[in-house]
Amino acid sequence: MISRVATGFSLRRKLYLVVSLVAGATAWGEPTFFQARVAPILDRNCTVCHGEEKQKSGLRLDTYEFLQRGGEGGKIVAPGKVGESELYRRITLPGDDEDVMPSDGKPRLTANEVKILELWIASGASPTAPVSAFPNAPAPLTPKPAALPLAPDWRPRAQEIAALEAALNVRLAPRSALPRDGLVLRTVSAPARCDDATLSRLASVAELIVDAELARTKVTDAGLKSVASWPNLRTLDLSRTAVTSDGLSALQSLDKLETLNLTGTLVDDTGVARVRTLPKLRRLWFFGTRAQSPDCDPGK
Amino acid sequence: MLPYDQRDPHAHLCSDHAREHPTVWDLPVAESLKREWLELETRRHFFGRGAKALAWAGLATILGKSAPQMLANAASGTEIRPHFAPKAKRAIYLFMAGAPSQLETWDYKPGLAALFDKDLPESVRGGQVLTGMTASQPRLPIAPSMFKFQQHGKAGHWVSELFPWTAKIADEIAVIKSLHTEAINHEPAILQITTGNMFPGRPSIGSWLSYGLGAMNEELPTFVVMTSKMPVVKNVQALSNRLWSAGFLSPEHAAVALRAGHDPVLYLNNPKGLNSDARRAMIDGVNALNRQLFERVGDPETNARIAQYEMAFRMQTSVPELTNLSDEPASTWDLYGPKAKEPGTFAYNCLMARRMAERGVRFSQVFLRSWDTHSDVPGRLAALCEDSDRPTYALVADLKRRGMLDDTLVIWGGEFGRTVYSQGGLKRDLYGRDHHPRCFSMWMAGAGVKPGLAFGETDDFSYNIVKDPVHIRDLHATILHLFGIDHSRLTFKFQGLDQKLTGVLPAKIIDGILA
């Protein structure tokens, strides 16, 4: 199963690799304009229909070579001649023209994207011209910072995870499609069946758990000793459990913990003071406890 | 295995339905469609083998996706969801059916006071065709809001005096004043905002979330709907289950409608004289028959039926626990007010929504009707807000103090806006407002929404949008985004299309309201 996923990825990677060997970098290692600016636009807007999987009108736009080759209607880029390039004509037609691309009401290219293609074609549609040759190109969008890995890849442990879920009546759900986004420990289907013993049996996946939903479970102070050994834990919900201030002492090791919910527990100000010193803690709730101190909000 | 095109198109069929009737193979349709059907047929066979495979198939549709399942999905080409880390684990949608007037609630237009009873300028209306309800009026006289507005919170939201309680959470909510829709009548409009399409038969938001993300709590439905008792009953539109149906998705993604009173889910309790063991035996028997049917016919609906019997059995325990409010502390009643003790009130439903959020119900929708103020805007809005303002505030405040607002999205709004001109007569304190699709206001709070924000602007008449228009499909794309879903990738193949909540027209995420 894993190998099939990997193959799917690597096929794409291989295509990029071909591109990068031919057109990826200039002799000095500077990225080419085509690779850095043009290919991503084609990838975003065109390759759904003109790519590896579909080749409408016999056209592919997922590599420089395919782009050069054109489709059934012939070449689509005339180097140096924007006005004679079919690619440019299609993306600049009015939205109701039946030849307009992308077709079928799919989102149009942005003005900046059109401009980048125009500049590239005008300058000769080179596969090797460096980014620095296009000082007038619109600035690239600042990419969102890549999500930091929160935990090791869970995928190699899938069988183990499945066995634990079955044995312990809990769920270990991936937080997202990113394999290093960690697992959510979910107990809400049967909170009464999750207790200190359950937590002690999760040691083998300790570093994978980033979010522990333990609200309304039978977890007590003793169970927090297990929780304390989950080094990548960011979010911990202990609402309406029987944990006390004493138990919270164990949590000192959770140096990545950002969010802690103690609503309706038996903690008091002593316990709150103990967890307030956690280095990364940004959010702390203890509504419905004996603690009096003000809630912790971000920035405070 | 031979390639498809070299195989006998009928060789794979079971003996019991081979050549019984024309199949896709006999029709002049695209080769790709035939292949798809063949693959489905092969898969039916796979699942038809052995009880173990079957049980897995049945369960997989109702359980949320766990790690090994996701891996299996990934291997079979189904993607892992959420696509990216979500802000919202769950959402509560307070639906004000009938369309509340934006002019009295969230779109403050002080300039209108000086224009009382003046005609709406033709330049503002821009030749818009009006509904049959006001098209024949000789005049379109401007009706300023008779309710006063004040700024509240650090954010300085202008909040109507109709919302003295909601004003206290002004810094928690993001008001969007620039929603718009194409629909000018209730049924298409409410369908569009609940399902993304004016035509009935599409899955609602909660159904898409259930399909996309699975269940968090396997003992309760993932999508629950509650309708509320109305403080005034006038111009009330019927709510039907097509607003919360699963459409073309498997039926277990439809909402369970929770009723007020002793029997929250109809026919859930065992009939008199039937104990739990007997019920269990009966369900096992029915399921065995259904499995046989599935093996023979291979219709996925049969599996959905099995799953629903199992869910109903589990709900016999989980629903009474959910609706038993005896464990609520006094602070709950202080917050929500005394009406929350009366089943079926909006206050009660808000409290239930919080209890469901605690128990992992992913999407709950609370409907309050009667906002269709063609006449007597002041009197009816006063009654509706009096009934709903405090519980609305209480819900948000309660989620916040319990640490749940961080990952619970709260949405408030109706299906369209109302006209600046009066329908019928016009007095300062008595006027009506017709339907207005060109702009309306909603708010969202929690789960990754920027708190204390006002987004979008309308013109001086709250008639046309002048800044940051938000279409309903943009709202939907944004809700899915907060759940970690790329709206363009949450699809289901039906009628030859990769169907989406956001439809085929481009939808954009409302970046401006994201924290």
d(CA B333, CA A35): 62
Q: Which two tokens stand for residue A176?
A: 């997202």
Instruction: Please report residues of A whose CB lies closer than 8 A to that of B216.
Output: 186, 188-189
Longest pairwise C-alpha distance within chain A: 77
Q: Which two tokens stand for residue A110?
A: 């942005």
Higher-confidence residue of B251 and A76: namely A76
Are residues B75 and A165, on separate chains, in Cβ contact within 8 Å? Answer: no
Any chain A CB within 8 A of the CB of B397?
Answer: no
Q: Are B152 and B421 in contact (CB under 8 A)?
A: no
The 10 Å Cβ neighbour count of residue B126 is 10
B273: left (phi over 0), alpha (psi -120 to 50) or beta: left
- Complex confidence, ipTM: 0.84
Q: Which two tokens stand for residue B150?
A: 């004040």
Q: Are B478 and B513 in contact (CB under 8 A)?
A: yes
- How far are the Cα atoms of A224, B72, B252, B277 from residue B58, in angstroms, in the given order? 36, 15, 11, 22
Are residues B403 and A263, on separate chains, in Cβ contact within 8 Å? Answer: yes
Are residues A176 and B406, on separate chains, in Cβ contact within 8 Å? Answer: no
Which pLDDT does position A1 carry in this prediction? Answer: 36
Q: Are B429 and B378 in contact (CB under 8 A)?
A: yes
Are residues A183 and B67, on separate chains, in Cβ contact within 8 Å? Answer: yes
Q: What is the DSSP letter of A32?
A: B
Which pLDDT does position A240 carry in this prediction? Answer: 96
CA angle B185, B186, B192 (to 5 degrees): 95
Any chain A CB within 8 A of the CB of B11?
Answer: no
d(CA A153, CA B155): 42
Neighbour-count burial of B49, counting CB atoms closer than 10 A to its CB (0-12 exposed, 13-18 middle, 19+ buried): exposed
Collect the ranges in chain B with pLDDT lower than 50. 1-5, 7, 9-22, 46-63
Q: Are B354 and B340 in contact (CB under 8 A)?
A: no
CB-based contacts of A51: which residues, under 8 Å, 6+ apart?
A: A60, A61, A62
The 10 Å Cβ neighbour count of residue B392 is 27
The 10 Å Cβ neighbour count of residue B425 is 11
> Average pLDDT of A56-64?
91
Which 3 state secondary structure label does DSSP give B322?
helix
Min Cα distance B147 → chain A (Å) is 35
CB-based contacts of B450: which residues, under 8 Å, 6+ apart?
A: B174, B512, B513, B514, B515
Average pLDDT over chain A, rounded to an integer:
86
d(CA B319, CA B451): 33
Are residues B358 and A175, on separate chains, in Cβ contact within 8 Å? Answer: no
The 10 Å Cβ neighbour count of residue B170 is 23
Q: Which two tokens stand for residue B405?
A: 């607002």
d(CA A53, CA B58): 32
| Of A177, A186, A189, Cβ closest to residue B80 | A177
Any chain B CB within 8 A of the CB of A211?
Answer: no
Neighbour-count burial of B16, counting CB atoms closer than 10 A to its CB (0-12 exposed, 13-18 middle, 19+ buried): exposed
Helices B300-323 and B276-297: angle between axes, nearest 10 degrees = 160
Taking Cα atoms as reference points, which of A184, A1, A151, A168 lies closest to residue B69? A1
Q: Which residue of B has its CA nearest to A189?
A: B217
d(CA B96, CA B442): 10
Q: Which two tokens stand for residue A287?
A: 């509504």
Instruction: Please report residues of A whose CB lies closer than 8 A to that of B484.
Output: 176
Neighbour-count burial of A220, counting CB atoms closer than 10 A to its CB (0-12 exposed, 13-18 middle, 19+ buried): middle
> Best-predicted range by mean pLDDT among A9-18, A227-236, B56-65, B230-239?
A227-236
> Average pLDDT of A132-150?
78
Most B-contacting residue of A153, A154, A171, A281 (CB-CB within 10 A), to test interface: A171
Residue A11 has pLDDT above 60, yes or no: no
Q: Are B206 and B365 in contact (CB under 8 A)?
A: yes
Which pLDDT does position A215 carry in this prediction? Answer: 97
Bridge partner list, B368: B96
Q: Which residue of B has its CA nearest to A160?
A: B68
Q: Which residue of B has its CA nearest to A171?
A: B66
Q: Are B132 and B102 in contact (CB under 8 A)?
A: no
What are the backbone dihedrals phi and psi of residue B306, each rounded to the nearest 5 degrees, phi first? Answer: -60, -45
d(CA B116, CA B111): 10
Q: Which residue of A has its CA nearest to B330?
A: A288
Q: Which residue of A has its CA nearest to B506?
A: A107
CB-based contacts of A183: which residues, under 8 Å, 6+ apart?
A: A151, A154, A161, A172, A173, A174, A175, A205, A208, A209, A210, A211, B67
The pTM score is 0.77
Most B-contacting residue of A189, A202, A272 (CB-CB within 10 A), to test interface: A189
d(CA B472, CA B505): 11
Taking Cα atoms as reference points, which of B477, B444, B378, B436 lies closest to residue B93? B444
Most A-contacting residue of B69, B398, B402, B489 (CB-CB within 10 A), to test interface: B402
CA angle A51, B25, B292 (to 5 degrees): 105
Any chain B CB within 8 A of the CB of A263?
Answer: yes
Which pLDDT does position B499 carry in this prediction? Answer: 94
| Residue in this structure with the two tokens 């979330």, named with its chain if needed | B209
Residue A79 has pLDDT above 50, yes or no: yes
| Of B75, B219, B504, Cβ closest to residue A4 | B75
d(CA A196, CA A26): 59
| Of B81, B217, B401, Cβ closest to residue A177 | B81
Taking Cα atoms as reference points, which of B225, B234, B240, B130 lies closest to residue B190? B240
Instruction: Please report residues of B whose CB lies closer than 8 A to that of A177.
Output: 79-84
What are the backbone dihedrals phi and psi of residue A69, each rounded to the nearest 5 degrees, phi first? Answer: -65, -35
Q: Among residues of chain A, what percentage have pLDDT more than 90?
A: 61
Min Cα distance A168 → chain B (Å) is 14
Q: Are A223 and A248 in contact (CB under 8 A)?
A: no
Q: How many CA atoms lie within 13 A of B162 on its CB side?
A: 25
d(CA B292, CA B296): 6
